[in-house]
Amino acid sequence: MQITTDYRLNGKIGDRLNAHGIRSTSVINCTRTISYKNVLLGDLEITLVSRAIPFPVVGRKQLASIVVMLTATGQFTASLLIVLVSILAPTALWAEHHHASSAKTPKVVSIVQVTHDGIGKTSLLSDDSNLYVTEWPAARHVVAKVSLRTANRTVLSTKFSNIQAFDISPDRNKLLIAALKGGARDNEFWTLPVTAGTPQRLGRFTGRDAAWSADGLNLTFGRGSSLYLADADGSSAREIFKADGSVFAPRISPDNKRIRFSVSDTAQNTTSLWEIGIDGSNPHALLAEWQGAKNACCGNWIAGGRYYVFQVTQSSPATLTTLWAIADSKHGEAGPVQLTKGPISFGNPTPSREDKKIFAIGVQPAAQAVKYSPTHNKFVPLLTGVSATDLDYSPDGKWVTYVSIPDGELYRSRADGREQMRLTSSPERAVLPRWSKDSTQIAYVSMQPGKPWRISIIARAGGASQDILEEDQGQIDANWSPDGSRIMYGYVYGSEHLKINILDLKTHEIETVPGSDGLFSPRWSPNGRYIAALTPDFTKVMLFDFQTKKWKNWLTEPAGAVSYPVWSADSKYLYFDDLVTDEESIRRVRVGEKHTERVFKLAGIERYPGAFGLWAGQMPDGSWMFVRDRSTQEVYQLSLELP
């Protein structure tokens, strides 16, 4: 497969595009993509484990479930090795659909980068000569018109300050947009002329994610858990299906007989593709038996309806969105076929009038670690020039360890960034490093191909790492004891036997914390007296007291409200990142109490969603650290080979 980029920022990419066969295009918007730039998903109102290790979140954020993408043992299997093509052999989620002898399967034969402006993008549409890209250059969304011939970019003028484009009319004269209002879940739909004219309101309803039919007669849209069908002008809207979850990204088939749409299931932490007759008949899950079905969403028909292209997002071993195709009739194989495999995340697949070409938004992940300054109410960069997450500063404050983005390699350096040393390399990926109490060793989660996850220890000076214990279940969440002689750890969520163990590093004896069966994500207090852990439904924080040898229900919160918990240095409080309740904020709860208090509100930062979601941590002085998303989004044109 050939990947071509054009770096001439002053335009004139028409010749290059023509050389690759781009002549006339027409693209239909997929869905409202996320605010976080290194993964491409809708503004889903869902609970998913990946937002924080391993705490889920409900919110209008990016998502993909880590639970689905891991085996029950936490094993990093070959079927997941689709993150870095240069490192890992690409394999499909459903292996039987990727035997090497198969010659009649869709595949990408070349990729051409179309835009080079570095502006955040959330969706794209096209007429025969222009792209209409919904951009997020600052605090609001705009729609930019980008010429495919000259690369000139102009922002469409409208009376609305914040808009999102969903579709383009069959005659290519107007856009279907939503006038966005703050954090509203549902918004008004309008038509916006692509040249000049006055926007017109569609119907008197509100909703999310809409699309017209190819014959220009119907409009479909989602509102909450309901799918609606209306006349093209918004009149005669009626509910045709009610899902067990939020409905988004509906698309009407080119023959105007079916609607395919995405559903987010809060209770099950999933997104899935559904199909229904345009008359409301025969609603069913589209890929019910497919292994990747619970992470699939946001599809579009291409090649005149012969194929349906959709996206799947994994969060482990790294966040990656890939494109897949499934034959809509008897063209090629019946099962999903993987089109892209990384390292670029591709989403928002949109069809072209040329059957074998599509547009998509591609994302190159990058991040910047920052700390929050409450005095100045701003975020201050850490480790200049380093793209990293999962920072942990040594207890003596002299060293820092971190995981590089996107490679997932473990590094350490002086606190000011000097004396940088890489400690691990591919194909191993590292997450969640923790310094020993004497600042000489680092415990981290090692993710190796074909093996369950392991807690490993490596010296600050480098060298070979050592797994603490061979087990069949995936280990996670290393906690050093106050004296540094033991390590407490848990198991990957979804493991058959969830419990909390403590390993003596000298004798190698294992102690299971009494009553910890079914609990996960443990946090050991600095004074050694308490353990905080989560229940499997993500709603309760349990507290174990080593003096009484008993657990008690410390805190009950909505699923996802407690993310990346951290004990205070004096062991009196548990701090956590609340991604669900009201406004996103850092909160805390005092030992012996059940009510929480806000420490500060998180605002003014676009956060990077890593392998376990939106990471947060604390420095030795109590300062909070976050990871700012510095990923770049550009439009790409993909040429396909279709049987």
- What distance in Å separates the CA atoms of residue 51 and residue 315, rounded to the nearest whole number? 9
Query: In sequence order, what are the residues at sequence separation of 6 or more whose Cβ sits closer than 8 angstroms to the Cβ of residue 289?
Result: none
pLDDT at 315: 65
Neighbour tally for 471: CB within 10 Å: 19
Q: Which residue from 230, 227, 314 is spatially nearest to 275, judged by alpha carbons?
A: 227
Q: Which residue has the tokens 């069959």?
A: 170
Q: Which residue from 366, 259, 322, 358 is spatially nearest to 29, judged by alpha carbons?
A: 358
Q: Tell me the mean pLDDT in the region 30-47.
A: 35
Highest-pLDDT range among 120-124, 299-303, 332-336, 391-395: 391-395
pLDDT at 615: 95
pLDDT at 151: 86
pLDDT at 506: 95
pLDDT at 96: 34
> What's the count of helices (H) and strands (E) in the chain, helices before strands?
2, 54
Lowest-pLDDT range of 455-459, 530-534, 537-541 = 537-541
3-state SS, residue 254: coil
> Taking the alpha carbons of 314, 315, 317, 321 in that order, is the dihedral positive or negative?
positive
pLDDT at 24: 26
- What distance in Å separates the CA atoms of residue 74 and residue 54, rounded to the nearest whole number? 12
Which whole-number Å values give the CA distances from 316 to 49, 321, 556, in the listed order? 11, 11, 28
Edge-first strand order for the sheet with 616-618 is 378-381, 367-373, 624-629, 616-618
Question: Residues 265-293, buried b or exposed e (16+ Cβ, 10 A)?
Answer: bbebbbbbbbbbebeeeebeebbeebebb
pLDDT at 386: 96
The predicted-structure confidence for 386-395, as pLDDT tens digits, reads as follows 999 999 999 9
pLDDT at 328: 84
- What distance in Å separates the CA atoms of residue 47 and residue 27, rounded to the nearest whole number? 30
pLDDT at 183: 67
- What distance in Å separates the CA atoms of residue 484 and residue 435, rounded to the nearest whole number? 10
Lowest-pLDDT range of 219-233, 318-332, 415-429 = 318-332
- What distance in Å separates the CA atoms of residue 129 and residue 153, rounded to the nearest whole number? 13
* Dihedral (Cα; 381, 579, 228, 207), 10-degree rounding: -60
pLDDT at 426: 86
Q: What is the amino acid identity at position 458?
A: I
pLDDT at 590: 98
What secondary structure letter does DSSP report for 68? H
Q: Tell me the mean pLDDT in the region 316-325.
A: 82
- pLDDT band (50, 70, 90) for residue 227: very high
Environment class of 138 (CB within 10 Å of its CB; exposed 0-12, middle 13-18, buried 19+): exposed
Q: Tell me the mean pLDDT in the region 481-487.
A: 96
The pLDDT of residue 97 is above 80:
no
> Taking the alpha carbons of 221, 227, 233, 234 in that order, is the dihedral positive or negative?
negative
In the CATH scheme, what architecture does the domain 2-365+632-641 have? 6 Propeller (2.120)
Q: Tell me the mean pLDDT in the region 241-257.
A: 95
pLDDT at 101: 35
pLDDT at 266: 60
- And the tokens for 225? 């858990």
User: Angle at the Cα of 612 (from 608 to 617), degrees rounded to 5?
Assistant: 70
pLDDT at 247: 96
- And the tokens for 490? 């848990």
pLDDT at 35: 34
Strands 388-393 vs 399-404: parallel, antiparallel or unpaired: antiparallel
The predicted-structure confidence for 567-618, as pLDDT tens digits, reads as follows 999 999 999 999 888 788 999 999 999 999 999 998 888 899 887 889 999 9
Q: Which residue has the tokens 């910047």?
A: 368
Q: CB–CB of 57/66 below 8 Å?
A: no
pLDDT at 267: 55
- What distance in Å separates the CA atoms of residue 165 and residue 193, rounded to the nearest whole number? 12
* Dihedral (Cα; 311, 316, 317, 318), 10-degree rounding: 60
The predicted-structure confidence for 146-175, as pLDDT tens digits, reads as follows 998 888 999 999 999 999 999 999 999 999
Q: Tell me what the pLDDT averaged over the chain comes to.
A: 82
Q: CB–CB of 590/603 below 8 Å?
A: no
The pLDDT of residue 69 is above 50:
no
Q: Tell me the mean pLDDT in the region 73-96.
A: 30
Give the bridge partners for 635, in sequence order: 361
Record the pTM.
0.68
Question: Three-state SS across 435-487?
Answer: ECCCCCEEEEEEECCCEECEEEEEECCCCCCEECCCCCCCEEEEEECCCCCEE
- And the tokens for 627? 């990871």
Q: Which residue from 371, 357, 404, 408 is spatially nearest to 385, judged by alpha carbons?
A: 404
The pLDDT of residue 194 is above 80:
yes
pLDDT at 270: 78
The pLDDT of residue 22 is above 80:
no
Q: Which residue from 203, 56, 80, 7 is spatially nearest to 536, judged by alpha carbons?
A: 56
